[in-house]
Amino acid sequence: CLYLLGLILGWMGVNEHSFIAVKPDGVHRRLVGEIIRRFEKKGFRLVGMKLVQASEDLLREHYWDLRDKPFFNGLVRYMSSGPIVAMVWQGLDVVKMSRKMLGETNPADSLPGTIRGDYCMEVGRNVIHGSDSVESAQREISLWFRQNELQCWEDSSGHWIYE
């Protein structure tokens, strides 16, 4: 599968992958379809998706770099409080582009037209998570997905999206 080879070789460009998760507040507010629509309209390819109730252990590992922050335990409790839609998207500069689509972590700093700018009011309920680097994406994808849960498929619209 090109995806797995890409993880090993650290490919960039068209074969770049990002981990995106609709958080419990986004699922409960029924924003999943709108978020998927935005990524599809942008031209990214969905290669993995599942609805999960994440364990605290998984979330502590996922947010390991925030473990010393005062909000860490509250974040883990909140993220384990309801279902999460975990996704892997593929495309050219998908990590960088998806971060722009999400908006700033603090919705008050997010521009209208971004997901957080359009749907969020507070940092603690900011609807969505997105990998902040290619390396983070690789680590996060490996935490949330087994290799047989990721699909390798050719998108027939690719020549309409990429030169």
Q: Among 17, 28, 62, 129, which one carries the catalytic annotation?
A: 129
- Judge whether 129 counts as a catalytic residue: yes
41 is an annotated ligand-binding site residue = no
**Annotated binding residue at 23?**
yes
- In the chain the domains, ranked by start, together with CATH numbers, are 2-152 (3.30.70.141)
Describe the crossing of helices 134-144 and 2-9 by its angle, rounded to 10 degrees: 130
The answer to whether the annotation marks 71 as part of a ligand binding site is: yes
Per-residue pLDDT of the chain (163 residues; tens, 9 = 90+): 444 545 444 444 557 999 999 999 999 999 999 999 999 999 999 999 999 999 999 999 999 999 999 999 999 999 999 999 999 999 999 999 999 999 999 999 999 999 999 999 999 999 999 999 999 999 999 999 999 999 887 777 777 776 7
Cα separation, 119 vs 152, whole angstroms? 31
How many Cβ atoms are within 10 Å of 110's Cβ, its own excluded? 19
In one-letter notation, the amino acid at residue 56 is E
CA separation for the pair 9, 15 (Å, rounded): 11
- pTM of the model as a whole: 0.87
Q: What is the DSSP letter of 62?
A: H
105 is in an annotated binding site: yes
Residues 6+ apart with CB under 8 A from 138: 7, 10, 17
Q: For residues 14 and 78, give the distance between their C-alpha atoms in angstroms, rounded to a whole number.
A: 34
